[in-house]
Amino acid sequence: MTDKRPRFRGSEGSAGGPAAGVPTHPMECRLRRIEGQVRGVLHMLEQGRTTDEVLVQLAAIRGAIHGLEQQLFGVEVDRLVERVVRDGRPAADGAIEDLKVAAGHLQRS
């Protein structure tokens, strides 16, 4: 079984690596930005901002999440293609099934 988790290499803050807490993976940067947007909406609600203002920010968050989904799907496609190229025909059927599953998740979002 292959590991399907996206890698956030270098974000651990290990010796010789980047400082702790500094995002180094593009998806990690996107997630942190989304996290900040969500906190911003919470702050807006606490301030009593208008519904229109909050809805605009929620739409921006939804767009950011959609972009992250697209990026993650692209990473999965790359991983599966690399697996097929590396392992040849026997890996193709499994890769196609994995791709269908990933596409199904993306369609439901």
pLDDT tens digit sequence for 11-57: 444 444 445 555 567 889 999 999 999 999 999 999 999 999 999 99
More confident residue, 79 or 10: 79
Give the ranges where the chain is alpha helix by DSSP (H).
26-47, 51-87, 89-108
pLDDT category of residue 65 using cuts at 50, 70 and 90: very high
**Selection from 34, 44, 101 nearest residue 73 by Cα:** 101
Alpha-carbon gap, residue 89 to 77, rounded angstroms: 16
Band the pLDDT of 5: cuts 50, 70, 90. low
C-alpha distances out from residue 51 to 47, 48, 102, Å: 12, 9, 34
Query: Is the full-model pTM beyond 0.75?
Result: no
For the chain, which domains are there?
26-108 (1.20.58.1000)
One-letter identity of residue 17 = G
